[in-house]
Amino acid sequence: MTTIQYLSLTKPQRALITIGNFFAGIGLGIARFFKNIPYLLFKLGKKLSGPFVVLYYAAKNGTWFTRANFLIMGCSQIFHKEFFRGILYLLYEVVFIWFMIKLGAPTLSKLGSLGTFARSSSYVLDPAEGSSLAIGLGDDSFNILLYSLVTILLIVILVVLWYFSIRDAKSLQDNIAIGRLSKNSQFFKDLMDNKYHTVLLAVPLVGLVAFTVIPVVFMIITGFTNYSQAHSELYDWVGFDNYTSLFTSFSGANGMGTVFLKILAWTLLWALIATFTNYFLGMVVALMINRKGIKLKKLWRTILIVTIAVPQFVSLLLISKMLSNSGFLTRLFVDWGWVPKLGSPFDNVVFSKVLIIIVNMWVGVPYTMLICSGILMNIPEDLYESAKIDGASTFKMYRSITLPYMLFITMPYLISQFVGNINNFNIIYLFSNGRPYFANLPASFGNVGETDLLITWIYKMSMESGTKNYAMACVLGLLVFIVIAVFSLIFYGKSSSVKSEGDFQ
């Protein structure tokens, strides 16, 4: 259909065509995906087979020194007086073997069962001392899982280094064959230039792996065990049991599945409302402050920035104090008849949800205001001039110039805000703490309530004393991740400013 034909249609017909195109697009997308599969497989195969080809040639054409690297890493480098690299390779191999004998192999052998007899059962009461003494080291599933993880990581590193050492030895041999002797100094110069990223990223990445990657992987794995208060020392693999028990318990108001769906719905609703109220109010305030003829611009802005400057937990704790049973605002609400006498503002579901959203505006509007002010000043003035000449009203100019411009530029911010709000722990935990609580729930659910988000529920389930339903919390954590990942993928794909990463360079 040509554009003219399309434009001659009425609005409902156009909408129908758009919808039709959307569904046709899905089909085409799927078809394209399958059409690309052979090519993708070919690319993947080429990428995967690359290292094996290198290894094959190193074994076939290598000198004995190169071949010795298959067994003793760094051997060839040391012989060719590349001491720095050679000794590092060798050192890693030695440490690795020592670690495997000492800890790695025994731990890995227990990974299947996660330990058989508990450490606490190996304690006996020493009658003379009146205290307990350990007579043998029992198993601790937590340790076994964590050390196994570390061991597997070290094995992966070994394989990668082993490959690098052989490839390096082969290229060393080739260079010597054509009479180009590489020197240690060249290696260091490379580190400052072509391989500078290894120098820069080494320390941050070690930190990232130790304090973020390992914990996250551990968390995902724990979701497949029954780690909880009842099984705190020895726990077992349970496969997908946690997931099935979550997704089959929709019967009645206090099945875990029902509670999960309720909280998920509120989390998404909350994230949506919180993001948009903050965004539009922040933009409105920014528009008002930046309007021509308004004086004291700096003062208005500064007043709002105070909220950002004061640590958030201080202001949130303070507001929650004001809304405590004897708090200042609660008394006002009682006087106005919004809250029954001797009641709490958090007794009523709708009222407490509205309160949270209002407090969130109080916290979040200043940020949006700052960002929007910066952008507003960058909108080309002549756009407004020409609109004014054409007789456009203020509202019309806002709708056709300001809003599209803002939305286009701040899309990434909006997405990160949405994701941040799904995980907005502080405001719920410090402020309403989930109240009003659900009644008659099993203790293993934690002290969960109507205004809890998934993230605060997870926290209550795993960290608060008395619950420690850790495995289930990990399952929920993974589900939160999936929710966020789906939304980010949808939005990031659509946002054009993400695609054009290099345009500013």
Partner 1 sequence: MANRPGSRRAIEKTQRGIIYAILIVVSVIWLFPFVYLIFQSLFKVPVSKNFFPGAGNWTFDNYINLFTNDAYPFLKWWLNTFIIAVFTSLLQTVFVLMTAYALSRLKFNGRQGLMKLMLILGMFPGFLGMLVIFYILELLGLNTSIFSLILVYVASSAMSYYIAKGFFDTVSKSLDEAVLIDGGTKNTVFWKVILPLSKPIIIYTILVSFTGPWGDFMFGRYIVTAGSIPASGWTVAVGLQLLTTKAGNLEYGLFCAGAVMVSIPITALFFWLQRYYVEGIAGGAVKG
Residues in 445-484 that interact with partner 1 by CB under 8 A:
455, 458-459, 462-463, 470, 473-474, 477, 480-481, 484
What are the angstrom distances between the C-alpha of 70 and each of 21, 55, 60, 242? Answer: 57, 9, 12, 44
Q: Does position 319 bind partner 1 by CB under 8 A?
A: yes
Least Å distance, CB 347 to partner 1, is 18
Least Å distance, CB 428 to partner 1, is 13
Q: Does position 36 bind partner 1 by CB under 8 A?
A: no
Q: Which two tokens stand for residue 468?
A: 């420690």
Site for partner 1 in 362-421 (CB under 8 A): 362, 366-367, 370-371, 373-375, 409-413, 419
Q: Which is nearer to partner 1, 131 or 465 (CB)?
A: 465
Q: Does position 493 bind partner 1 by CB under 8 A?
A: no
Site for partner 1 in 132-171 (CB under 8 A): 142, 146
Omega into 204 within 30° of 0, i.e. cis? no
Q: Which two tokens stand for residue 279?
A: 């965004």
Q: Which of 212, 229, 244, 386 binds partner 1 (CB under 8 A)?
A: 212
Q: How many CB atoms lie under 10 A from the CB of residue 439?
A: 8
Q: Does position 306 bind partner 1 by CB under 8 A?
A: yes
Q: Does position 313 bind partner 1 by CB under 8 A?
A: yes
Give the total of residues touching partner 1 (CB under 8 A).
96
Q: Does position 30 bind partner 1 by CB under 8 A?
A: no
Site for partner 1 in 273-292 (CB under 8 A): 285, 288-289, 291
Q: How far apart are CA 343 and CA 330, in angstroms?
A: 9
Q: Does position 497 bind partner 1 by CB under 8 A?
A: yes
Q: Which is nearer to partner 1, 79 or 459 (CB)?
A: 459
Q: How far apart are CA 16 and CA 25, in angstroms?
A: 14
The residues, any chain, with a CB within 8 Å of residue 6's CB and separated by 6 or more, are 14, 17
Is the CB of residue 264 less than 8 Å from the CB of residue 454? yes
Residue whose structure tokens are 């028990």 = 245
Least Å distance, CB 194 to partner 1, is 8
Q: Which is nearer to partner 1, 121 or 416 (CB)?
A: 416
Phi-psi sector, 340: left (phi>0), alpha (psi -120 to 50), beta: beta
Least Å distance, CB 297 to partner 1, is 10
One symbol per residue from 65 to 104: x for binding partner 1 (CB under 8 A), - otherwise; what is it?
Answer: ----------------------------------------
Q: How far apart are CA 422 and CA 482, in angstroms?
A: 12
Least Å distance, CB 452 to partner 1, is 13
- SS3 category, 123: strand
The residues, any chain, with a CB within 8 Å of residue 175's CB and separated by 6 or more, are 181, 182
Q: Which is nearer to partner 1, 10 or 194 (CB)?
A: 194
Q: How far apart are CA 170 and CA 163, in angstroms?
A: 11
Return the range that interacts with partner 1 (CB under 8 A); candidates 9-17, 128-136, 209-217, 254-262.
Answer: 209-217
Q: How far apart are CA 104 and CA 112, in angstroms?
A: 14
Q: Which two tokens stand for residue 379?
A: 């909108």
Q: How far apart are CA 72 and CA 79, in angstroms?
A: 12
Return the range that interacts with partner 1 (CB under 8 A); candidates 123-131, 174-182, 258-266, 294-302.
Answer: 294-302
Least Å distance, CB 226 to partner 1, is 15
Q: Which is nearer to partner 1, 93 or 168 (CB)?
A: 168
**Dihedrals phi, psi of 84, to nearest 5 degrees:** -55, -55
| Length, in residues, of the chain | 505
Return the range that interacts with partner 1 (CB under 8 A); candidates 23-31, 58-66, 296-304, 346-354.
Answer: 296-304
Q: How far apart are CA 146 and CA 111, in angstroms?
A: 10
Q: Which is nearer to partner 1, 75 or 430 (CB)?
A: 430
| CA 131 to chain CA mean position, Å | 45
Site for partner 1 in 325-354 (CB under 8 A): 326-328, 330-331
Site for partner 1 in 169-198 (CB under 8 A): 189, 192-194, 196-197
Q: Which is nearer to partner 1, 75 or 304 (CB)?
A: 304
Q: Which two tokens stand for residue 270?
A: 């909350």
